[in-house]
Chains A and B, each alone.
Chain A
Amino acid sequence: MIINHPLLGPRDAAEFVYLGDASLMDRPDGMTASDEEMHDYMYLRDNPAGEHRELWYHEQGDRSWLVVTRNTLTHEITMVELARDVARSRGRSK
């Protein structure tokens, strides 16, 4: 698979480390979240067949985190964003 990095252009997916579903960006506040919320965040996944937004880390490159939109049935990648931009667009500071 080739990931079209927003800053560096097309890169081999082997340069990246895969973390999982992009919802992992939305960690509940550990001080206020209920056990149930924390459990669901940590352990449960949608695991869809089809479009999947997921986190990839460019470990062998510029060390940025990306949100990749990829089809889990075909491996086709339709969108690549900097995770930082995705977080900021939702009002987060970083």
Chain B
Amino acid sequence: MGYSAFKVFWQGLTGNKGWQPAWREPDPRPQYDIIIIGGGGHGLATAYYLAKEFGVRNVAVVEKGWLGSGNIGRNTTIIRANYLLPGNQPFYELSLKLWENLEQDFNYNAMVSQRSILNLIHSDPQRDAFARRANAMRLSGADSELLGPDEIRALCPFLDFDNARFPIQGALRQKRGGTVRHDAVAWGYARGADMHGVDIIQNCEVTGIDITDGVCTGVQTTRGPIRAKKVAMCAAGSSGRVAALADMRLPIESHVLQAFVTEGLKPTLPGVITFGAGHFYVSQSDKGGLVFGGDIDGYNTYAQRGNLPVVEDVCEGGMAIMPMIGRARLLRGWGGVMDMSMDGSPFIDKTGTQGLYVNAGWCYGGFKATPASGYCYAHLLAKDQPHEVATQFRLDRFRRGAPIDEKGVGAQPNLH
């Protein structure tokens, strides 16, 4: 059933009685061409593009909870393509392009809002670094501009410009960056994949990966065994646990990231704002709440909750850059478990086992990557060749001395 403004209008007049479920709830079939482990944003996007762009329709997405129970429903919804390194930036630019046409493509309102992102600059060396980044962004075809303090004052008069320690000297802006309603992304991809014949199987945990003579033949689940020609791991924060089912150790540690939202306020923030001297970022949701976050807690965890020192640290960051936030009441805080990789960059790759593939290591930035991750993973699964913008997301890149380390901090996941 296609959605349109006319349909919304008509349903409004007829008591909203004609809506149908957006996707089926099938039982698992005994065999598929491809099984995707994990029905988060990336898994659902992979299934959607496999069916729609690559003609592979005999696909199942196997999800241990309900759709949207993972990080796709927990993130702070920011999209952007403002990376520095050639291994990353073209990939994120492709993602931004896919976001720009996503709602038309899958016929679902994901509230993609390109309200811009401002990365604040507080020192001369930081301006140099951001100027270099702005150039790298342009080389990949993305937009970028450097703003001076006066332009920022006009946009965000509420920031603490003359802070004695961290005065605001400028900003890197990407106008095409912004926010998207995260759970609508999961629902839109799920509905789109379902319409192309993909089975989405919820409440079905993968408990084993079957490997015979180095070839992956299927998975064991809480709803019975399922055979498959190819098995695609896509479990984000649980990547380590899923890979362990195939006796693999990954270059990943699982960490928790917290996020917070205040009571609803009148429209105040023009877009996404990030503090350049501490770790704090904030945007305003369409309901009016200020959505913000900062550093990860910094220790291995699978508990979807963090601790108080980080809450304090994030709030201090907020007060340093935007003192008026102290007047808003906090409504909620929550945490999500993320797959922090050894260089802060992701993996979309084959594994040493034939027929077993991995998509992991998205750290705290995988939401913006959802469309391109799905597209590139589908490309790899369908053609056994990496997509041209994802050729460097290899599992063996540390062995080859080719990490993609945006921050240059080395193999220390809690510093990325």
Contact = CB atoms under 8 A, between A and B. Distances in A.
B250 A47 contact: yes
Contact of A47 (B300, B309, B399): B300
B307 A13 contact: yes
A15 B252 CA distance: 25
Nearest to B414: A18
Given A46-B249, A47-B252, A20 B309 contact: no
Contacts of B411: 42-43
A72 B302 contact: yes
Contacts of A1: 307
A20 B399 contact: no
A46 B240 CA distance: 7
Contacts of A46: 240, 244, 249
A14 B411 CA distance: 22
A45 B303 contact: no
B399 A39 contact: yes
Given A39-B398, A42-B398, A47-B254, A73 B302 contact: yes
B282 interface: no
Contacts of B303: 72-75
Contacts, number: 69
B415 to A, nearest CB: 10
A52 B254 CA distance: 12
B342 interface: yes
B167 interface: no
A7 to B, nearest CB: 21
B299 A18 contact: yes
Interface string A9-40: 00011100011110000000000000100011
Contact of B301 (A14, A19, A75): A75
Given A43-B251, A45-B249, A45-B250, A35 B298 contact: no
B321 to A, nearest CB: 22
A20 B301 contact: no
B183 interface: no
B307 A43 contact: no
Nearest to B297: A18
A42 to B, nearest CB: 5
B251 A45 contact: yes
Given A18-B414, A73-B303, A47 B342 contact: no
A62 B399 CA distance: 37
B250 A18 contact: no
Nearest to A1: B307
Contact of B398 (A19, A20, A43): A43
Contact of B300 (A14, A35, A44, A52): A52
Nearest to B251: A43
Interface in A36-60: 39-40, 42-49, 52, 54
Nearest to A68: B299
Q: Which of A14, A35, A43, A72 has the most C-beta atoms of chain B within 10 angstroms of its own C-beta?
A: A43
Interface in B302-322: 302-303, 307, 309
A47 B414 CA distance: 13
B241 interface: yes
B253 interface: yes
B342 A43 contact: yes
A43 B251 CA distance: 5
A21 B413 CA distance: 11
Contact of A49 (B250, B251, B302): B302
Contacts of A70: 299
Given A20-B253, A49-B241, 19 more contacts: A1-B307, A12-B309, A13-B299, A13-B307, A13-B309, A18-B298, A18-B414, A20-B414, A21-B300, A35-B399, A43-B342, A47-B240, A47-B250, A48-B240, A49-B254, A72-B301, A72-B302, A73-B303, A75-B303
13 contacts: A13-B299, A18-B299, A19-B412, A20-B413, A44-B251, A45-B249, A47-B249, A49-B240, A54-B300, A72-B301, A73-B303, A75-B301, A75-B307
Interface of B: 240-241, 244, 249-254, 298-303, 307, 309, 342, 398-399, 411-414
**A-B CB proximity, top 4 nearest:** A47-B240, A14-B309, A44-B249, A43-B251
